[in-house]
Amino acid sequence: MMSITLMLNGEETVQSVEPRAILADLLREGCGLTGTHLGCEHGACGACTVALDGMAVRACVVLAVMCDGRTVETIEGTRGDPVMDVIRRHFHEHHALQCGFCTPGMLMMARDIIARHPCPDEALIRAQLSGQVCRCTGYMGIVAAIRAAAAELHPEAAARPTLTRNA
Protein backbone atom coordinates (compact mmCIF):
# COMPACT_ATOMS: atom_id res chain seq x y z
CA MET A 1 0.00 0.00 0.00
CA MET A 2 1.06 3.55 -0.68
CA SER A 3 -0.10 6.73 0.99
CA ILE A 4 -1.15 9.57 -1.30
CA THR A 5 -2.40 13.06 -0.60
CA LEU A 6 -4.72 14.81 -2.99
CA MET A 7 -7.04 17.77 -3.06
CA LEU A 8 -10.41 16.11 -3.66
CA ASN A 9 -13.39 18.35 -4.35
CA GLY A 10 -11.73 21.20 -2.49
CA GLU A 11 -10.62 19.22 0.55
CA GLU A 12 -7.26 17.64 1.21
CA THR A 13 -7.47 13.91 1.73
CA VAL A 14 -4.91 11.23 2.50
CA GLN A 15 -5.61 7.77 1.15
CA SER A 16 -3.86 4.40 1.22
CA VAL A 17 -3.93 2.75 -2.18
CA GLU A 18 -2.48 -0.25 -3.94
CA PRO A 19 0.06 0.88 -6.56
CA ARG A 20 -2.12 -0.69 -9.28
CA ALA A 21 -5.43 0.86 -8.10
CA ILE A 22 -7.21 3.11 -10.57
CA LEU A 23 -8.52 6.54 -9.65
CA ALA A 24 -12.13 5.49 -10.31
CA ASP A 25 -11.91 2.72 -7.73
CA LEU A 26 -10.33 5.06 -5.19
CA LEU A 27 -13.11 7.59 -5.73
CA ARG A 28 -15.95 5.06 -5.61
CA GLU A 29 -14.72 2.58 -3.02
CA GLY A 30 -12.21 4.56 -0.98
CA CYS A 31 -14.03 7.88 -0.89
CA GLY A 32 -17.67 6.91 -1.45
CA LEU A 33 -18.04 9.21 -4.46
CA THR A 34 -20.24 7.04 -6.63
CA GLY A 35 -21.06 9.73 -9.20
CA THR A 36 -17.97 8.57 -11.07
CA HIS A 37 -19.44 5.68 -13.04
CA LEU A 38 -17.50 2.75 -14.44
CA GLY A 39 -18.67 1.51 -17.81
CA CYS A 40 -15.95 0.06 -20.01
CA GLU A 41 -12.99 0.26 -17.59
CA HIS A 42 -10.55 0.99 -20.41
CA GLY A 43 -11.17 4.67 -21.25
CA ALA A 44 -13.55 4.29 -24.18
CA CYS A 45 -16.96 5.28 -22.77
CA GLY A 46 -16.27 8.44 -20.73
CA ALA A 47 -18.67 7.56 -17.89
CA CYS A 48 -15.82 7.99 -15.39
CA THR A 49 -14.74 11.47 -16.58
CA VAL A 50 -13.40 13.68 -13.77
CA ALA A 51 -11.19 16.78 -13.69
CA LEU A 52 -7.53 16.23 -12.81
CA ASP A 53 -5.77 19.54 -12.25
CA GLY A 54 -8.67 21.15 -14.14
CA MET A 55 -8.46 18.89 -17.18
CA ALA A 56 -10.99 16.21 -18.13
CA VAL A 57 -9.57 12.68 -17.80
CA ARG A 58 -10.90 9.14 -17.66
CA ALA A 59 -10.62 7.97 -14.05
CA CYS A 60 -10.55 4.33 -15.15
CA VAL A 61 -7.18 4.71 -16.90
CA VAL A 62 -5.44 6.95 -14.36
CA LEU A 63 -3.61 5.21 -11.55
CA ALA A 64 -4.54 6.63 -8.16
CA VAL A 65 -0.86 6.98 -7.21
CA MET A 66 -0.44 9.36 -10.18
CA CYS A 67 -2.77 11.78 -8.37
CA ASP A 68 -0.50 12.27 -5.36
CA GLY A 69 -0.16 16.00 -4.78
CA ARG A 70 -2.74 16.84 -7.44
CA THR A 71 -6.30 18.18 -7.56
CA VAL A 72 -9.22 15.93 -8.46
CA GLU A 73 -12.78 17.12 -8.94
CA THR A 74 -15.71 14.76 -9.37
CA ILE A 75 -19.32 15.49 -10.25
CA GLU A 76 -20.04 15.70 -6.50
CA GLY A 77 -17.51 18.54 -6.23
CA THR A 78 -19.43 20.68 -8.73
CA ARG A 79 -22.41 21.29 -6.46
CA GLY A 80 -22.86 25.03 -6.16
CA ASP A 81 -20.57 25.74 -9.13
CA PRO A 82 -22.41 28.45 -11.11
CA VAL A 83 -21.00 27.20 -14.43
CA MET A 84 -22.25 23.69 -13.75
CA ASP A 85 -25.61 25.07 -12.63
CA VAL A 86 -26.02 26.63 -16.10
CA ILE A 87 -24.87 23.45 -17.84
CA ARG A 88 -27.20 21.27 -15.75
CA ARG A 89 -30.14 23.56 -16.47
CA HIS A 90 -29.51 23.38 -20.21
CA PHE A 91 -29.13 19.58 -20.06
CA HIS A 92 -32.56 19.51 -18.41
CA GLU A 93 -34.17 22.01 -20.82
CA HIS A 94 -32.78 20.28 -23.92
CA HIS A 95 -33.67 16.76 -22.72
CA ALA A 96 -29.98 15.81 -22.85
CA LEU A 97 -30.28 12.94 -20.41
CA GLN A 98 -32.34 9.83 -20.07
CA CYS A 99 -31.12 6.87 -18.04
CA GLY A 100 -28.46 8.99 -16.33
CA PHE A 101 -25.56 6.52 -16.47
CA CYS A 102 -23.41 8.70 -18.76
CA THR A 103 -24.67 12.00 -17.32
CA PRO A 104 -21.95 12.71 -14.70
CA GLY A 105 -19.20 12.10 -17.25
CA MET A 106 -21.08 14.09 -19.91
CA LEU A 107 -21.50 17.04 -17.56
CA MET A 108 -17.81 17.02 -16.62
CA MET A 109 -16.85 16.88 -20.29
CA ALA A 110 -19.34 19.63 -21.18
CA ARG A 111 -17.70 21.91 -18.62
CA ASP A 112 -14.28 21.08 -20.05
CA ILE A 113 -15.43 21.82 -23.63
CA ILE A 114 -16.94 25.17 -22.66
CA ALA A 115 -13.84 26.15 -20.66
CA ARG A 116 -11.57 25.47 -23.64
CA HIS A 117 -13.95 26.62 -26.40
CA PRO A 118 -16.19 29.55 -25.36
CA CYS A 119 -18.22 29.40 -28.59
CA PRO A 120 -18.24 25.80 -29.78
CA ASP A 121 -20.11 24.85 -32.92
CA GLU A 122 -21.85 21.52 -33.42
CA ALA A 123 -18.91 19.90 -35.22
CA LEU A 124 -16.46 20.84 -32.48
CA ILE A 125 -18.78 19.61 -29.74
CA ARG A 126 -19.33 16.32 -31.53
CA ALA A 127 -15.58 15.87 -32.00
CA GLN A 128 -14.91 16.65 -28.34
CA LEU A 129 -17.65 14.23 -27.26
CA SER A 130 -16.33 11.41 -29.43
CA GLY A 131 -15.04 9.59 -26.35
CA GLN A 132 -18.32 9.96 -24.42
CA VAL A 133 -20.81 7.16 -25.03
CA CYS A 134 -24.54 7.65 -24.55
CA ARG A 135 -26.83 4.86 -25.64
CA CYS A 136 -30.09 6.69 -24.92
CA THR A 137 -30.21 10.24 -26.25
CA GLY A 138 -28.74 10.20 -29.74
CA TYR A 139 -26.59 13.22 -28.76
CA MET A 140 -28.85 15.90 -30.34
CA GLY A 141 -30.02 17.18 -26.96
CA ILE A 142 -26.52 16.96 -25.49
CA VAL A 143 -25.01 19.02 -28.32
CA ALA A 144 -27.84 21.57 -28.12
CA ALA A 145 -27.43 21.83 -24.34
CA ILE A 146 -23.69 22.45 -24.57
CA ARG A 147 -24.14 25.08 -27.30
CA ALA A 148 -26.86 26.86 -25.31
CA ALA A 149 -24.86 26.77 -22.07
CA ALA A 150 -21.77 28.11 -23.85
CA ALA A 151 -23.79 30.94 -25.41
CA GLU A 152 -25.23 31.88 -22.01
CA LEU A 153 -21.89 31.64 -20.22
CA HIS A 154 -19.92 33.45 -22.94
CA PRO A 155 -22.31 35.87 -24.70
CA GLU A 156 -19.36 37.94 -25.89
CA ALA A 157 -17.96 34.94 -27.77
CA ALA A 158 -21.34 34.07 -29.28
CA ALA A 159 -21.72 37.65 -30.54
CA ARG A 160 -18.35 37.67 -32.35
CA PRO A 161 -18.49 36.91 -36.03
CA THR A 162 -16.81 33.65 -36.94
CA LEU A 163 -14.35 33.34 -39.77
CA THR A 164 -15.22 30.85 -42.44
CA ARG A 165 -13.11 29.49 -45.24
CA ASN A 166 -14.36 29.29 -48.79
CA ALA A 167 -14.88 25.72 -49.88
105-140 per-position pLDDT tens digit: 999 999 999 999 999 999 999 999 999 999 888 899
Distance CA 67, CA 5 (A): 8
130 and 142 assigned to the same domain: yes
Query: Is residue 47 in some structural domain?
Result: yes
Q: How many CA atoms lie within 13 A of 50 on its CB side?
A: 32
What is the per-residue burial (b if ≥16 Cβ within 10 Å, else e) of 17-38? beeebbbbbbbbebbebebbbb
What is the residue range of 20's domain? Answer: 2-77
Whether residue 111 is contained in a domain is answered as yes
Q: What is the mean pLDDT of residues 149-160?
A: 88
Report field, pTM of the whole predicted structure over 0.85: yes
* Whether residues 147 and 133 fall in one domain: yes
Q: In terms of domains, do 63 and 100 share one?
A: no
Residue 76 is which amino acid? E
Is the same domain home to 51 and 109? no
Least confident of 67-76, 144-153, 154-163: 154-163
Here the CATH number for the domain that contains residue 155 is 1.10.150.120
Are 119 and 67 contained in the same domain? Answer: no
Q: What is the pLDDT of residue 142?
A: 97
